[in-house]
Amino acid sequence: MSSNEASPVLRQFLGRVDDYLLRYSKGFVPAAITRTEGSRLYDQDGREILDFASGQMCATLGHNHPVVKGAIMAALDEPMHLNSNMLTKAVVDLAEELAGLLPLGLRKSMFLSTGGESNEAALRMAKTATGGFEVLAFDAAWHGMTGGANAQTYAGARRGAGPMVPGTLTLPSPNGYRCPIRHCRDACDRTCLEVGFENFDRQTVGAGAAVICEPLLAAGGIVAPPEGYYSRLRQLADERDLLVIFDEAQTGLGRCGSMFYFEQTGIVPDILTLSKTLGGGMAMSAVVVGSELEERLHEKGFYFYTSHVSDPLPARVALAILRFLVSERIAERAKRMGDYFMTGLRALQQRHEAIGDVRGAGLLVGVELVQDRMSRKPAVGLGQRAIKRAYELGLFSTQSGGARDPEKGGMVWKLAPPLTVSEAELDRGLAIVDRAIAEAGAR
């Protein structure tokens, strides 16, 4: 939308945006969001927009959910911020209830603010515990924008700010639809994993610390490794004394049809990080480790001291969200609604040649758009036009896959509505996706 097409109210708003806000990405959505409720946003003109991005993947229960609002209101009568060495009951309650949902290998938590911060802490833990500094990450991963986390981020945001932290190495992402080593087609047989660790053995200086993974790559194209992949990764990591870190910023707490995605992988990580889905819109993240690892870290003098560690207010909100997720069986709901949504998207695939693949888990879904299904050449222009047209029709969503270079990484349309989305809202979303692809020029 150009400023000339905008309403007078929006034109004035966008003018103020240009005057006063620093641009930290490609640009802002041309709207002033005035109200949110559930899966819906409302702009300055009262237009209703379905949010199939769940905010920044943080609106787990939808926008302005009564549970979140109630927890915030209750927290206003309690301590909101303390010295970083002080604790409230809400923080301990959250740690205890989180431990109750996890296997014994993950028991002790540390609460921070953002996903990048939690991954920064996890990487520091791995380096402290092992004495090494080399870290393996998927070559389509996204782990954050802070120094160490950004060094393990390959889906974008690497260029223009100088050298990365030393010791950053990659594993080929196990994308069966678009095999990174040109070996498989449609069914990953884990050869890429073997090649990745063979490359590590050639490149390492003998100072390995960890493997960090999004267990289902969200920013990297909605890629779920095949059965047995993580069992083999665990074996290869153990042989090299590497700790395994799972970053469940986008996959944890019900979104993928289980409380934690690692439950679907067959292994338990040494370190688990949670963020986006934990706060329900509040800045909240966690790092969870086992008791033995925590003891080793403490003995080695582990130190990670920030202004908002163990903050009471977001802990109170996260505790309320966690209890609601359990009591309302939201993970099961996400599985059921995700199956419904996936069925609808696969029906669209039968109508649109441009839909090369539909994949995901629960309510984290990717639609890969191609010029033709034989060559699988990414339909970049079509995808960008379709996402824009969908927004005009009332559906906000984002691009995954090759966000840095979709010509190489694939044009994947990411669809991730709140876990409280209704069937009627999914149906409306499907109708918009259908129309947007057709009007964007697909065959």
Give the CATH number of the domain where residue 400 resides: 3.90.1150.10
CA-to-CA separations, 328 to 111, 275, 320, 321, 348, in angstroms, rounded: 24, 21, 12, 10, 31
Residues 54 and 162 placed together within one structural domain of the fold: no
How do residues 343-358 score in pLDDT, each as one tens digit? 999 999 999 999 999 9
Sheet holding 168-171, edge to edge: 108-112, 285-289, 271-274, 243-247, 208-213, 134-138, 168-171
Place of tokens 């065959």: 443
DSSP SS3 for 223: strand
Residues 291 and 404 placed together within one structural domain of the fold: no
Q: What domain range includes position 414?
A: 33-64+329-440
C-alpha span between 307 and 402 (Å, rounded): 35
Residues 92 and 189 placed together within one structural domain of the fold: yes
| Within-domain flag for 166 | yes
Residues 214 and 308 placed together within one structural domain of the fold: yes
| Within-domain flag for 390 | yes
Residues 309 and 350 placed together within one structural domain of the fold: no
Residue 246, classified by CB atoms within 10 Å of its CB into exposed (0-12), middle (13-18) or buried (19+), is: buried
Q: From its phi and psi, is residue 316 left (phi > 0), alpha (psi between -120 and 50) or beta?
A: alpha
CATH classification of the domain holding 317: 3.40.640.10
Residue 154 structure tokens:
């390959």
12 CB-near residues (< 8 Å, 6+ apart): none
| Within-domain flag for 4 | no
Query: What are the backbone dihedrals phi and psi of residue 362, each rounded to the nearest 5 degrees, phi first?
Result: 60, -130
C-alpha span between 393 and 103 (Å, rounded): 44
Provide the pLDDT for residue 4. 54
| Within-domain flag for 46 | yes
Provide the pLDDT for residue 7. 87
Q: Which residues pair with 361 in a beta bridge?
A: 364
Q: Which residues pair with 288 in a beta bridge?
A: 109, 272
Residues 276 and 147 placed together within one structural domain of the fold: yes
Residues 113 and 183 placed together within one structural domain of the fold: yes
| Within-domain flag for 25 | no
| Within-domain flag for 150 | yes
DSSP code per residue over 406-424? HHHH-EEEEE---TT--HH
Place of tokens 């996936």: 342
420 CB-near residues (< 8 Å, 6+ apart): 38, 39, 61, 62, 65, 330
Residues 238 and 261 placed together within one structural domain of the fold: yes
> Which of 295, 327, 359 is the last residue before a domain boundary?
327
Residues 310 and 398 placed together within one structural domain of the fold: no
CA 77 to chain centroid: 32
Judge whether 50 and 432 are in contact, CB under 8 Å.
yes
Residue 343 structure tokens:
């069925």
Residues 139 and 151 placed together within one structural domain of the fold: yes
Count of domains forming the chain: 2
> Which of 303, 327, 351 is the last residue before a domain boundary?
327
> Which of 261, 295, 327 is the last residue before a domain boundary?
327
Residues 218 and 234 placed together within one structural domain of the fold: yes
Taking 50 as the pLDDT cut, the residues of the chain under it are 3, 443
| Within-domain flag for 2 | no
| Within-domain flag for 315 | yes
pTM of the model: 0.96
Residues 98 and 182 placed together within one structural domain of the fold: yes
Residues 36, 41, 45, 46, Cα dihedral to 10°: -70
344 CB-near residues (< 8 Å, 6+ apart): 426, 427, 430
Judge whether 102 and 272 are in contact, CB under 8 Å.
yes
Provide the pLDDT for residue 3. 47
C-alpha span between 377 and 266 (Å, rounded): 33
